[in-house]
Structure 1
Amino acid sequence: MRQNPSFTLADEAEIRRVIEMSPWATIMSAGDDGLVASHYAVLLDETRDDLTIVGHVGRPDDLIHGMGERELLVVFQGPHGYVSPGWYGDVQAVPTWNYTAVHLAGVPEILSDEENLVVLDQLVARFESRMPEPKLMWERPNDAAFVQRLAAGTVGFRLTPTRVVAKRKLSQNKPVETIETVISALRSDGPYSNPALAEEMRRAQDARTGGRR
């Protein structure tokens, strides 16, 4: 991902926030047969306060990616969407796409069977806890044999990144008035309504201006 000083995201707390709210990640590597990509839910390692992540892949994706032997690139995509040149006013302009993205790269550590079970439990709890009647991994009608059998088809990993590239391209290079117009347009009921992107732009703009509008 090409970096631009105007759009660089370097705040680790903000990077963690993006990962936390966008856990559906793309995992990429250069395999024996060329580039390969997989898609899995990935979590921040709750035992760490850095950018270490934990997750799992299904077998045989561990072999396809050379898990534990080759570098992985894990991509998290935050809110993103189309920005119309019509929102800039009567000036020369072209369309663009605003987005937030985080790239973490490194060689992952393979988890033990016991550690993998913990991560699988955390993944289920993270998403199932929002349900009115959560069905957690170890609750009936699941039994230990069922859980162990499913876990055996997965390989858990922990990745402490050796390279981090994060970008928040949210019209920061535009005048404040233009940014406010874009935010309003994204909050409208038009064809490119995108409240999540509007909130990301609001957050970035308030961080830059100290909340002054």
Structure 2
Amino acid sequence: MRQNPSFTLASVDEIKRLVRQNPWMTIVSDTDASGLVASHYPVLLDETADGIALLTHVGRPDEVLHELGRHEVMFIVQGPHGYISPGWYDEKPAVPTWNFVTAHLYGTPEILSDDENLRVLEALVDHFEDELPEPRRMRGTHANSEYADRIAAGTVGLRIPVTRFVAKNKMSQNRPAETVDRIIDELEGDGPYASPSLAAEMRRTHDAMRAARAASASASASASADRA
């Protein structure tokens, strides 16, 4: 991923937020047998880890296809993204762009035991079912434990300690404030490229930038006053 200092996302906390809000990921492996292979699975954070660690599962035989546990893999997490028209800028000549937030997370998977895999599967189900008025569980009133065990046997659980990541948050940081406001208005509108989720991400990014600038200005003013 081509990096630009203006768009680099380096905060571990922000990466964790991105994972929590966008749990559907792409797993990419460079294998000895088949070269590049990719699969797609829901992923949770291991909230007990000091750094970033991912929890997921793959359906058999994906663990063989990816040669999991033998080498580093890449997980791609994609946040809100969308087309930005130059017509949303001003009258000056301009080209369109695409705003997005994404991260490439690298680590070597640890293969979980059957019991650990079952706990990860239950956590995944609970994570998504908790949003519903009548959650269904893998085990319990509306679940069959034997059926759950049979399904779990067809999967392999994984824990991936992330050893490095590359991330990018491109939200028109290089545009004037009035242009940013116009872009957000368009994204919140009803046009063909409206995207409320991208608008919210842009607001969050620019609010954080404004707060950081205000804090820096306040610190500079305090330092000047102390020297006076």
What does residue 24 of structure 1 align with?
A: 24
Q: Does 1:77 align with 2:90?
A: no
What does residue 197 of structure 1 align with?
A: 198
Q: Is the 8 A contact 1:205 1:211 kept in 2?
A: no
CA shift digits 1:90-118 (9 cap, x unpaired): 01111111000011011111111111111
Distance in 2, matches of 1:74 and 1:148, equals 27
Distance in 2, matches of 1:148 and 1:166, equals 37
Residues 63-74 of structure 1 mapped to structure 2, 5 A cutoff: 63-74=64-75
How far did residue 49 of structure 1 move?
Answer: 4.0
Residues 62-211 of structure 1 mapped to structure 2, 5 A cutoff: 62-210=63-211
Distance in 2, matches of 1:126 and 1:165, equals 26
1:130 counterpart SS class: coil
How far did residue 143 of structure 1 move?
Answer: 2.5
Distance in 1, matches of 2:133 and 2:141, equals 17
Q: Is the 8 A contact 2:136 2:143 kept in 1?
A: no
CA shift digits 1:40-88 (9 cap, x unpaired): 0000002224211110000000000001112110000000000000001
CA shift digits 1:122-174 (9 cap, x unpaired): 00000011111111110244322211111110001111112211110111111
2:43 counterpart SS class: strand
What does residue 13 of structure 1 align with?
A: 13
How far did residue 189 of structure 1 move?
Answer: 1.0
1:210 counterpart SS class: helix
By percentage of residues, which structure has more helix? Answer: 2
1:105 counterpart SS class: strand
Q: Give the fraction of aligned pairs with identical amino acids, expressed as a percent.
A: 55
TM-score (structure 2 length as normaliser): 0.90
Aligned residue pairs, count: 213
Distance in 1, matches of 2:52 and 2:93, equals 40
TM-score (structure 1 length as normaliser): 0.96
- With 16-25 and 156-165 compared, the bigger mean Cα shift is at 156-165
Q: Is the 8 A contact 1:183 1:198 kept in 2?
A: yes
- Is there any run of 5+ residues in structure 2 with no aligned partner, and where? 214-228
Pair member with larger Rg: 2
Distance in 2, matches of 1:163 and 1:47, equals 18
Letter in 2 for 1:188: G
Q: Is the 8 A contact 2:83 2:193 kept in 1?
A: yes
Letter in 2 for 1:154: T
Letter in 2 for 1:191: P
